[in-house]
Chain A
Amino acid sequence: EAGVTQSPTHLIKTRGQQATLRCSPISGHTSVYWYQQALGLGLQFLLWYDEGEERNRGNFPPRFSGRQFPNYSSELNVNALELEDSALYLCASSFLSGGALDTQYFGPGTRLTVL
């Protein structure tokens, strides 16, 4: 069974540009989560999508946005990039079953570098 996949592996942008990161969940999973791991910090929750809708959002500015497609894959968009957006961005997926807390399975991440 294929795991969570993310693309690209690495992304280099300059300040002010936009970055688009992609995630494909495990087959059958309907929820996708995005996390940011900046240097020296733990994983910071960014966004949660389920069944195509944004369900929850972390404490990040509106220039962090995303969407979930009908096939449950997801995009994370970061507009007006700032130097401090340089981080590892991790995507996770899970299958929600009747409200139970389900284990989140993580992809390998996209390392975004903003110059």
Chain B
Amino acid sequence: DQQVKQNSPSLSVQEGRISILNCDYTNSMFDYFLWYKKYPAEGPTFLISISSIKDKNEDGRFTVFLNKSAKHLSLHIVPSQPGDSAVYFCAASSGTYKYIFGTGTRLKVLA
């Protein structure tokens, strides 16, 4: 049973436009969410996080939105750059230090 789902395996966006990556979860006990970015042959790197007491967190070009009632979060990248091309994982935790990861979305930003 996949508790964290990223239903789009891939996404292509033109450089300069907005990239929106989506993530759905089923466990209402999750209260901390993160996004990781992974380049080929490298480990995932932390991008941005959000706690369940907030509905938005912004860091430069990256914004994460959380809709608790819909059990949905999304990562917005504006403007998208070719260097953003990577696999993006969302992860959720219920405070047990164990992150549950989604299957990832491969973002390709076209120059």
Collect the chain A residues with CB atoms within 8 Å of residue B45's CB.
105-106
Residue ID in chain A nearest B102 by CB atoms = A42
With contacts A42-B89, A42-B104, A103-B49 taken as known, whether A56 is within 8 angstroms of B96 at the C-beta atoms is yes
- Which residues of B come within 8 Å of A, CB atoms? 2, 4, 6, 32, 34, 36, 41-46, 49, 89, 91, 93, 95-104
CB atoms of B43 and A4 under 8 A apart: yes
Counting CB contacts under 8 A, is A16 at the interface? no
Q: Is the CB of B46 within 8 A of A35?
A: no
User: Known interface pairs A42-B4, A45-B98. Does A104 touch B46 (Cβ–Cβ under 8 Å)?
Assistant: yes
Residues of B within 8 A of A107 (CB): 43
Given A31-B97, A48-B97, A56-B96 in contact, is the A108-B41 Cβ separation under 8 Å? Answer: yes
Residues of A within 8 A of B104 (CB): 42
The 28 sampled A-B contact pairs (Cβ below 8 Å) are A4-B43, A6-B43, A31-B97, A33-B99, A42-B6, A42-B89, A42-B101, A42-B102, A43-B91, A43-B99, A43-B101, A45-B98, A45-B99, A45-B100, A45-B101, A55-B97, A56-B97, A58-B98, A90-B43, A90-B44, A101-B32, A101-B95, A103-B34, A103-B46, A106-B45, A107-B43, A108-B42, A109-B43
Task: For B2, list chain A residues within 8 Å (CB).
Answer: 42
| B residues in contact with A56, CB < 8 Å | 96-98
Q: A43-B89, A101-B32 are in contact. Are A106 and B96 (CB under 8 A)?
A: no
Contact B42 A42 (CB under 8 A): no
A40 to B6, CA, bound (A): 12
Most buried by B among A6, A35, A106: A106
Partner of B43, one of A42, A48, A92: A92
- On whether the beta carbons of A104 and B99 are closer than 8 Å, the reply is yes
Q: How far is the CA of A4 from the CA of B95 in the complex (A)?
A: 23
Q: Does the CB pair B44–A101 fall under 8 Å?
A: no
Are B43's CB and A101's CB within 8 A? no
